[in-house]
């Protein structure tokens, strides 16, 4: 059985079992390795992707549940998103492992709220763990990107 969905705007199909984690389809079948495996239990946020615009943990999302959906990965941000520019400006990454998940959670927030408060940012980013502790820089970068998006 072939499951059909879109990834970063392109139609794809998967022959994986419906209960296969979306993370493994994205990485192993589609070759998009920007989405990271962290904990495998939806606790760290490293595997965050968008499904129909909502941030979800791909390690716990079954591929069968995204049939017909639009999935967005870090590769879909294109390298020029305001968040990515703000991440560089504010020197957010240290080890960098969590950053694709952090960016995807922040992008989901800014797609709905172009003027987030600190509480909005904290709520949207809850569950995205940064072992390096760059949370202050993450919040500053999200605010900076929001400002850039409002000005556009």
pTM of the model: 0.95
12 shares its domain with 62: yes
Nearest of 67, 69, 68 to residue 53 by alpha carbon: 69
Residues 69 and 88 placed together within one structural domain of the fold: no
Domain that holds residue 40: 3-76
CA proximity to 128, closest of 147, 106, 150, 107: 106
- Among the candidates 76, 95, 126, a domain finishes at 76
Q: Tell me: do 42 and 97 sit in the same domain.
A: no
Supply the pLDDT for residue 59. 98
For the chain, residues with pLDDT lower than 70 are: none
Our CA dihedral for 29, 35, 36, 38, rounded to 10 degrees, sits at: -110
Q: For the chain, state the CA radius of gyration.
A: 15
Q: In terms of Cα–Cα distance, which of 58, 63, 82 is closest to 3?
A: 63
- Residues 132, 105, single domain; the answer is yes
> In whole angstroms, what is the distance from residue 28 CA to residue 125 CA?
27
- What pLDDT is stored for residue 80 in this prediction? 86
Three-state DSSP class for 72?
strand
Predicted pLDDT at 3: 95
CATH number of the structural domain spanning residue 35: 3.10.20.30
Which of 76, 93, 115 marks a domain boundary? 76
Give pLDDT, residue 71.
98
Q: Which two tokens mark 129?
A: 């763990």
Report pLDDT for 79. 84
């Amino acid at each position: 059985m072939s499951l059909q969905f879109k990834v970063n705007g392109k139609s794809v199909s998967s022959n994986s079992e419906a209960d296969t984690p979306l993370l493994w389809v994205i990485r192993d079948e589609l070759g998009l390795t920007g989405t990271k495996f962290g904990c495998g239990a939806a606790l760290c946020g490293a595997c965050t992707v968008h499904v129909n615009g909502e941030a979800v943990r791909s390690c716990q999302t079954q591929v069968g549940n995204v049939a017909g959906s639009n999935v967005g990965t870090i590769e879909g941000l294109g390298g020029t998103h305001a968040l990515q520019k703000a991440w560089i400006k504010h020197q957010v990454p240290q080890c960098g492992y969590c950053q694709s998940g952090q960016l995807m959670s922040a992008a989901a927030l800014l797609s709905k709220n172009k003027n987030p408060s600190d509480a909005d940012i904290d709520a949207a980013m809850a569950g995205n763990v940064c072992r390096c502790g760059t949370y202050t820089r993450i919040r500053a970068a999200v605010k900076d990107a929001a400002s850039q998006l409002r000005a556009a």
